[in-house]
Amino acid sequence: MNKSELRQIILQQLESRLAIAQSATQRAIDAATDEETVPEHKYDTLALEASYLAHGQAVRVQECEEDIQCYRDLVLREGERIAMSSFLSVIDEQDKVKYFFIGPRVGGLSVVWDGKDVAILTPNAPLGAALMGKEVGDEVEFSVADSHFIYEIVSVC
């Protein structure tokens, strides 16, 4: 199993997010500096609101760039125990198989790799924290709000 391919797919998804964020930032900057947003009186806040939006979008661009750098720098490790950069499959109580990749950021992002839907988990997520250090055959139990989940680890690489 080539996790480098999976990382490339994640990076493509992150670069797509970055392009969208950059476009949104430029639109917000254009709106903030447009002639039509010049305040006509002291209660006209359209330009101010547009500048806040532009700032928020610029922060989003920076976060996207940091996400990309994290995945470019990520060392892909192999091992029997679940750790950062592990690709694993689990089976739930209804015998449904789920695939996860343990990553440093962008938990919740899903990509398709090798015909499988792979969800990225961070060690900070409840399931990610429960999985860290486990190995094939171990059961993992965790709760989120009022829901309780049990998974059996099927494979780790």
- The answer to whether the beta carbons of residues 141 and 129 sit under 8 Å apart is no
CATH of 81-156, one of 3.20.20.120, 3.40.50.300, 3.10.50.30, 3.50.50.60: 3.10.50.30
> What pLDDT tens digit does each residue of the chain (157 aa) get?
789 999 999 999 999 999 999 999 999 888 888 877 777 777 777 778 888 999 999 999 999 999 999 999 999 999 999 999 999 999 999 999 999 999 999 999 999 999 999 999 999 999 999 999 999 999 999 888 899 999 999 999 9
d(CA 52, CA 145): 34
pTM: 0.86
What are residue 141's DSSP bridge partners?
150
Number of other residues whose CB lies within 10 A of the CB of residue 107: 16
